[in-house]
Each structure stands twice: as structure tokens, then as C-alpha cells.
């Protein structure tokens, strides 16, 4: 994993738009979801947007920690 530390402001820059990668934070880890089809353009079909801390969404969804194991980790998130 990369040593980059993100906060709310820096993570928001990676919203998947204008050529930026689509990063999200979950449980303090920042993941690059750019290569996942439903995140094309930084927006998930469920109305979620990249560049945010989505810990609450993942805690209440069908996604499991296994889901994120195959996604590149690009840093840590500190609110």
C-alpha cells in the first residue's frame, strides 16, 4: 500500500471526473475503484460518488471486506 495520507479535502480531488482516478475511503483505507465498471466517471449506479469516505455505505451493504481485497489500496484516510 502507498504511504499517501488523504483527508476529506485531498480525497475529494480524486472523484473520477476530468481524468482523475476514482478513489473512495472505507475503514481508513483509500481504494482506487477506477477500473470497476459501475464507478466509471466517478459515480456508482446507486448514486454514490467517488472522492468520499464511504465507510457507512459499505458497512450497510452486501459488499464484504473480500470485495475490496482485489482493489488497489492507494493510501490511508484520516478524517
All domains of the chain in start order, with CATH: 5-77 (3.10.120.10)
pLDDT in tens, the chain (79 residues): 679 999 999 999 999 999 999 999 999 999 999 998 888 889 887 788 999 999 988 888 776 667 788 899 999 999 8
CA distance 30 to 78: 10
CB-based burial label for 43 (10 Å; 0-12, 13-18, 19+) = middle
Tell me the pTM: 0.89
Phi-psi region of 34 (alpha: psi -120 to 50; beta: other; left: phi over 0): alpha
Round to whole Å and give the CA distance between 25 and 23: 7
Amino acid at each position: 500500500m502507498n504511504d499517501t495520507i488523504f483527508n476529506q479535502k485531498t480525497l475529494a480531488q480524486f472523484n473520477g471526473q476530468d481524468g482523475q482516478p476514482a478513489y473512495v475511503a472505507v475503514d481508513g483505507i483509500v481504494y482506487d475503484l477506477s477500473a470497476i465498471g459501475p464507478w466509471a466517471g466517478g459515480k456508482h449506479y446507486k448514486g454514490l460518488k467517488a472522492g468520499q469516505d464511504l465507510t457507512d455505505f459499505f458497512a450497510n451493504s452486501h459488499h464484504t471486506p473480500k470485495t475490496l481485497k482485489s482493489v488497489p489500496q492507494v493510501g490511508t484516510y484520516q478524517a
